[in-house]
């Protein structure tokens, strides 16, 4: 008696494997976001450069690759703008934008202002790309602790 060839029953399995793709978690904020704002400089607002630089906005790149910030704009509710120079923010890195004057580094940028820009009482930080498309916003409505995780 002759053995039968193996049945071609497994052919149907291939059709099922395509459904196993994982969905991307909706809560994972992609790309660059406004991470933290120190809108009330600690201590007395004496307009010293040290005090001005203790007021800052921190952005974060949540992505797995560097992002060019060339021409991106960070602005307040009164449309005071800071334009990023030709720099990149590395993957999973943060960057602070200080209000006062200073020498830019990889992690710290300076708007070069001689006055505070982020209102202690209420304000809104908006980050846009060079073409004006909105990247993220962060707003606050009372002095509170003087800072906010966005």
Chain contacts with Ca ion (rule: CB under 5 A): 39, 55, 116, 118, 120
Q: At closest approach, how far in Å is the CB of 32 from Ca ion?
A: 23
Residues near 6 by Cβ (< 8 Å), separated by ≥ 6? none
Q: d(Cα 22, Cα 30) in Å, to the nearest integer? A: 17
Neighbours of 97 (CB within 10 A): 22
Residues near 115 by Cβ (< 8 Å), separated by ≥ 6? 47, 52
Opening angle at CA 133, ends 92 and 115, nearest 5 = 75
Q: At closest approach, how far in Å is the CB of 36 from Ca ion?
A: 14
Which residue reads 């039968």 in tokens? 4
Pairing between strand 123-128 and 73-75?
A: antiparallel
Q: At closest approach, how far in Å is the CB of 133 from Ca ion?
A: 27
Nearer to Ca ion, 63 or 112 (CB): 112
Nearer to Ca ion, 40 or 136 (CB): 40
CB of 71 closer than 8 Å to CB of 132: no
Nearer to Ca ion, 60 or 98 (CB): 98
Q: At closest approach, how far in Å is the CB of 40 from Ca ion?
A: 5
Nearer to Ca ion, 55 or 136 (CB): 55
Nearer to Ca ion, 44 or 103 (CB): 44
Q: At closest approach, how far in Å is the CB of 55 from Ca ion?
A: 5
């Amino acid at each position: 008696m002759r053995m039968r060839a193996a049945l071609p029953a497994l052919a149907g399995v291939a059709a099922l494997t395509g459904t196993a793709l994982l969905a991307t978690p909706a809560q994972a904020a992609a790309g660059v976001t406004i991470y933290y704002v120190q809108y009330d400089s600690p201590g007395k607002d004496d307009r010293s450069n040290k005090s001005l630089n203790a007021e800052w906005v921190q952005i974060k790149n949540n992505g797995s690759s560097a992002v060019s910030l060339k021409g991106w704009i960070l602005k307040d509710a009164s449309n005071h703008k800071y334009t990023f120079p030709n720099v990149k923010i590395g993957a999973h890195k943060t960057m602070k934008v200080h209000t006062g004057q200073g020498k830019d580094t990889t992690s710290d940028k300076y708007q070069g202002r001689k006055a505070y820009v982020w209102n202690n009482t209420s304000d809104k930080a908006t980050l846009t790309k060079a073409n004006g498309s909105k990247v993220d916003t962060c707003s606050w409505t009372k002095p509170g602790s003087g800072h906010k995780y966005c």
